[in-house]
Amino acid sequence: MASTMKINKDKLRIVTEVLFLILFFFLFRNNSLQRWIIFFGAGIIISVFTGRFYCAWACPIGTMMRPISWLYKKLQIKRLKPPSFMKKSWIKWGLLMLFIVVMIGTKVLKIKFNLLLYLTLLGVLISLLFEEELWHKYICPYGTLFSVFTRPAKYGLKIIEEKCISCGKCEKVCLNNSISILANKKRKISNKDCLLCCKCQEVCSVEAISFAKV
């Protein structure tokens, strides 16, 4: 029963990702990509209560990264880890400020510059060389915002310590390196960084991971 629910959830996520990706390109084709801010705004509101659903279920950048990650895994191609200097907090906040300045500047000066489209292309290009964590945690301005708005969230993916057997499978498949090791070797998920892709839940052999109150 649990495995059936897991498969159904996986299919639902894939369908949702594809539908949002189609919508993204539909808006782009009709020169209405600025309307995507509506879906991002909804994602921000939802994240305050249940975490970063937008990142794994609606974000076009993340969706286009999925087949790249799948292909690299099949071909056993290892990507570069995030450079240590990128982990300094001022860099991601600086990139967020730059994004906001460019966005406001293009509007005020009435410059035709599709910022969201170029941001999407940048994310995909970066994922060709580096692990997804670099984009999701340190570069993406949306990811930086989500890391703030998800802090008060009461629900998210949670590892039940009593069930955890410390195998580390969840930690290995986490796209955003949001799973840490506790002193007792059990694992814990950082809600502000968790993309809710549920890959950790998929590989957990003892079903110790579930969406619950955190």
For residue 182, pLDDT beyond 70? yes
Mean pLDDT over the full length of the chain:
91
- Paired tokens of 143: 């990811």
Q: For position 185, what pLDDT does the model report?
A: 93
Q: For position 110, what pLDDT does the model report?
A: 83
| 3-12, 95-104, 151-160, range with the lowest pLDDT | 3-12
Q: For position 6, what pLDDT does the model report?
A: 55
Q: What is the DSSP letter of 138?
A: I
Q: By C-alpha distance, which of 190, 204, 203 is closest to 73? A: 203
- Paired tokens of 95: 């990139």
For residue 144, pLDDT beyond 70? yes
What's CA 119's distance to the chain center, in Å? 15
Please report the sign of the dihedral spanned by the C-alpha atoms of residue 165, residue 170, residue 171, residue 177.
Answer: negative
Span 8-22, mean pLDDT?
Answer: 88
Angle made by CA atoms 102, 103, 105, in degrees to the nearest 5: 60
The percent of residues above 90 in pLDDT, for the chain, comes to: 79
Q: What is the DSSP letter of 94?
A: H
Residue 137, Cβ density class (10 Å: 0-12 exposed, 13-18 middle, ≥19 buried): buried
- What is the Cα–Cα distance from 59 to 2, expressed in whole angstroms? 27
Q: For position 7, what pLDDT does the model report?
A: 56
Span 39-44, mean pLDDT?
Answer: 94
Look up the pTM and report it.
0.89
- What is the Cα–Cα distance from 195 to 132, expressed in whole angstroms? 11
Q: For position 31, what pLDDT does the model report?
A: 86
